[in-house]
Structure 1
Amino acid sequence: MDMKAKGFNTKAIHAGQKPCPVTGAHVTPIYQTSTFVFKDVDQGARRFAGEEAGYIYTRLGNPTVAELEEKIAALEGGEAALAAASG
């Protein structure tokens, strides 16, 4: 859904939402995990080196934070947003 032409309330609700590929849930669940699993050591090395996209450690990003960033960018009319841990 292209958010640029949508109203503020629609953006606040729907921007950044993607169905969960595992469960099919319409709303992104809250991912309360600190780390993510890799297929093998090589995949982990590629992700830590920035050679492959994917989540590695929650303080560096996770699906919940990614959706928040997309929502903020849509609401503010920006290209992107960055959310950081406060703790």
Structure 2
Amino acid sequence: MSFIENWRYPLPQATNGERVGSAALDEDTSLQMIALTDTGQIAACTFGHPDEFIGTKLETAGDELMRGKKIRALAHIRWL
């Protein structure tokens, strides 16, 4: 699992309208991702209602994409 926000940093500034970077993942490798804000909301909820979550397992990934699909999806994000 990784944080979606981590993907903005390995990419250099755009050249000729493209940002090109590399990732040590095969084309068919999937990677689960979650946003930092989602992690905070999940933590607040679980700590706020411990009796509902003690002893349970949560699936927290917001997205799981293969590397090629992830790259195409991230290409459409306008990073601030």
The alignment's TM-score, normalised by the length of structure 2, stands at 0.31
* Higher relative contact order, structure no. (Cα contacts within 8 Å, ≥ 6 residues apart): 2
Q: Which has the larger radius of gyration?
A: 2
The alignment's TM-score, normalised by the length of structure 1, stands at 0.29
The structure where strand makes up a greater share of residues is 2
